[in-house]
């Protein structure tokens, strides 16, 4: 595969709109070269876009994603980036577990309310 990609190539590969890719460019998360009006995306841009999409899918904010990408630019050994990423993963996992507990509690409450309503309906209908 070529080391250069068009915006259409990347949009198709990552199943996003070209507008989404331009948004990430506006946010300075990717920086394609230009030939006139045409954007030319490098292998680096493609990797960064893949990391952005993964980060979004996992629920990280754009700021968190930017911070991780910036670390890679300053620490090529990736040690600092990986350490911080592990911390972010643990934070995200804790948040999701708390949300799951909250959802489970809400579902339990809804089940109890429905049961109470069904009992009341049965009582009122005389059955």
pLDDT tens sequence across 105-123: 999 999 999 999 999 999 9
**Would you state the pLDDT for residue 127?**
63
What does the pLDDT average to over 90-94?
95
Name 39's bridge partners: 34
pLDDT tens sequence across 71-91: 877 777 878 888 988 999 999
What is the 3 state secondary structure string of 45-71? HHHHHHHHHHHHHCCCCHHHHHHHHHH
Residue 2's pLDDT band (cuts 50, 70, 90): low
Edge-to-edge strand order for the sheet containing 33-35? 4-5, 38-42, 33-35
**Would you state the pLDDT for residue 76?**
73
What is the spatial distance between Cα 79 and Cα 72, in angstroms, rounded to a whole number? Answer: 9
């Amino acid at each position: 595969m070529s080391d250069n990609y068009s915006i259409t190539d990347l949009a198709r590969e990552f199943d996003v709109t070209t507008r989404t890719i331009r948004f990430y460019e506006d946010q300075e998360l990717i920086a394609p070269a230009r030939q006139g009006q045409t954007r030319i995306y490098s292998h680096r841009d493609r990797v960064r876009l893949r990391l952005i999409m993964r980060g979004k899918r996992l629920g990280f904010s754009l700021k968190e994603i930017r911070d991780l990408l910036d670390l890679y630019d300053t620490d090529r050994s990736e040690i600092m980036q990986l350490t911080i990423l592990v911390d972010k993963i643990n934070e995200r996992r804790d948040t999701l577990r708390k949300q799951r507990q909250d959802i489970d509690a809400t579902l339990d409450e809804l089940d109890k309310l429905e049961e109470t309503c069904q009992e009341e309906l049965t009582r009122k209908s005389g059955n």
